[in-house]
Amino acid sequence: MEIEIATIGGYEEVGRQMTAVRAGDDVVVFDMGLNLSKVLIHDNVETERMHSLDLIDMGAIPDDRVMSDLEGDVKAIVPTHGHLDHIGAISKLAHRYDAPIVASPFTIELVKQQIKGEEKFGVENDLQKMEAGETMQIGERNELEFVNVTHSIIDAINPVLHTPEGSIVYGLDKRMDHTPVIGDPIDMKRFREIAREDGGVLCYIEDCTNAGRKGRTPSEAVARRHLKDVMYSIEDYDGGIVATTFSSHIARVSSLVEFAEDIGRQPVLLGRSMEKYSGTAERLDFVDFPDDLGMYGHRKSVDRTFKRIMNEGKENFLPIVTGHQGEPRAMLTRMGRGETPYELDDGDKVLFSARVIPEPTNEGQRYQSEKLLGMQGARIYDDIHVSGHLREEGHYEMIDTLQPQHIIPAHQDMKGFAPYVDLAENMGYNLGRDLHVTRNGNLITLVDE
């Protein structure tokens, strides 16, 4: 059976991930992501009403024109998890394919909300939920399987396409977490089994984000422990404490909520995306928040809540807000600019349970946000965080486990691929032979017969 891989997006950047695999006549698309930084760099761009081609020109969504060179039918569109760089282009591209969108329950729910917010295209693809451990027939001879992995968002999976020529493992995005705070540990047992099955692993496509960092990415349990230490250490502080983190990082938000109560403060989630992700996770029973946990997204209800906090005493609350990257319109940045009713005083604590995404725009905006907060007297606790991506030893372990015939590094630019290429070459792979460094819009033929 002929096997071809189309590397459509996310092979020159982190963002707008999209890869297609053709096995015989069947094509499966993995991820359809958005590169948000390409949108945010322009002032006030509203993507909801924009046409796909304009967004492709901006470099914001994958240029999927290479799909017309693949001779097969798209049978499924499979987003691996709910981060925007994996699902953010579905509302702009999925309607071009007559295929269902197949994803884990939390991811499907986020896709559904995104499609609802779309104003340009009517996206009518079927939405099919599939849990980790389940499989789905693709055409007559191929099978799709979801393997449970751990990442900085709940319900993440690595899809595996089983073909008569061996398995294609699509490895974006994960860390190897044996003690995640929510959900099951990464299913290494299943990866080991897949490696031993008939045909083994034909190809492994992998997220190289942290390949250049030595050692192993710590578990979410470590970030939780770190957060607990910071919060317990300021238990007796009788002024304002404010925290921020990735709003899609439900495990972290839930730790923040829990420790706020431990130190005698009422947690409140503020900001549109805080309300969206946490509300969705709670509705789907991924997390059991306290009954009285307030979540407010709209500007008016947020301001009303801030006024209530000021009236009842800042020392009784822990606002958990958006703005961990210093995004100009996010809540924490507005607090720094003094645009909300919440007043910061000398010595008030601001907890960043996040790391700055190492990219000039983020770094600049975060610098500005911290300076503004500092000018009002805030003390900053930074980097209470662990990454959601594998480091060098995690990558080593995955390659060692899967023993793939071919490897395609993804989710990075050329510079980001380099440390992964070094690692793979040290393990016996050869650039150009079975290790394929590529760019957006290319086809790689793995089996040609």
Tell me which stretch binds Zn ion (CB under 5 A): 80-88, 178-186, 309-317, 391-399: 80-88
Tell me which stretch binds Zn ion (CB under 5 A): 78-86, 191-199, 222-230, 402-410: 78-86
How many chain residues touch Zn ion (CB under 5 A)? 2
Q: Which of 213, 207, 206, 210 minimizes the C-alpha distance to 406? A: 206
Beta carbons within 10 angstroms of residue 64's beta carbon:
22
Q: Which residues are CB-contacts of 104 (< 8 A; sequence separation ≥ 6)?
A: 81, 129, 130, 131, 132, 146, 155, 156, 157
Please work out, in degrees rounded to the nearest 5, the angle formed at the alpha carbon of residue 393 by the alpha carbons of 390 and 398. Answer: 70
For the chain, the residue count is 449
Q: How far is CA 253 from CA 55, 81, 105, 285, in A?
A: 32, 18, 19, 15
Q: Closer CB to Zn ion, residue 83 or residue 190?
A: 83
Q: Closer CB to Zn ion, residue 17 or residue 163?
A: 17
Q: Using CA atoms, how far apart are residues 107 and 109, in angstroms rounded to an integer?
A: 5
Q: Closer CB to Zn ion, residue 83 or residue 436?
A: 83
Q: Closer CB to Zn ion, residue 207 or residue 327?
A: 207
From the CB of 241, what's the least distance to Zn ion, in Å? 28
Classify each residue of 216-252 as buried b or exposed e, where b means 16 or more C-beta atoms within 10 Å of its C-beta: bbbbbbebbebbbebbeeeeeeeebbbbbbbbbbbbb
From the CB of 148, what's the least distance to Zn ion, in Å? 15
Sign of CA dihedral 298, 304, 310, 313: negative
Q: Using CA atoms, how far apart are residues 403 and 196, in angstroms rounded to an integer?
A: 9
From the CB of 247, what's the least distance to Zn ion, in Å? 14
From the CB of 388, what's the least distance to Zn ion, in Å? 6
Q: Which of 353, 362, 379 minimizes the C-alpha distance to 327? A: 362
Q: Using CA atoms, how far apart are residues 234 and 237, in angstroms rounded to an integer?
A: 5
- Residue 200, Ramachandran bin (φ over 0: left; ψ between -120 and 50: alpha; else beta): left
Phi and psi torsions of 293, nearest 5°: -70, 120
Q: Which of 256, 361, 278, 335 minimizes the C-alpha distance to 82? A: 278
Q: Closer CB to Zn ion, residue 83 or residue 324?
A: 83
From the CB of 173, what's the least distance to Zn ion, in Å? 4
From the CB of 334, what's the least distance to Zn ion, in Å? 26
Helix, strand, coil shares, percent, the chain, to 5:
35, 25, 45
Q: Closer CB to Zn ion, residue 66 or residue 169?
A: 169
From the CB of 9, what's the least distance to Zn ion, in Å? 14
From the CB of 151, what's the least distance to Zn ion, in Å? 6
Strand partners, 242: 350
Question: Which of positions 202-261 make contact with Zn ion (CB under 5 A)?
Answer: none
From the CB of 2, what's the least distance to Zn ion, in Å? 31
Q: Closer CB to Zn ion, residue 173 or residue 187?
A: 173
Q: Closer CB to Zn ion, residue 387 or residue 438?
A: 387
Q: Closer CB to Zn ion, residue 204 or residue 246?
A: 246
Q: Closer CB to Zn ion, residue 83 or residue 385?
A: 83
From the CB of 274, what's the least distance to Zn ion, in Å? 18
Q: Closer CB to Zn ion, residue 83 or residue 224?
A: 83
- The single residue among 16, 75, 83, 395 that binds Zn ion, judged by CB under 5 A, is 83
Classify each residue of 365-382 as buried b or exposed e, where b means 16 or more C-beta atoms within 10 Å of its C-beta: bbeebbebbeebebeebe
Question: Which of positions 160-189 make contact with Zn ion (CB under 5 A)?
Answer: 173
Question: Which of positions 18-77 make contact with Zn ion (CB under 5 A)?
Answer: none
From the CB of 83, what's the least distance to Zn ion, in Å? 4
Q: Which of 71, 66, 76, 61 minimizes the C-alpha distance to 30? A: 76
Q: Which residues are CB-contacts of 322 (< 8 A; sequence separation ≥ 6)?
A: 244, 247, 270, 271, 272, 273, 274, 330, 331, 332
- SS3 call for 145: strand
Q: Which residues bind to Zn ion, rule: CB under 5 A? A: 83, 173
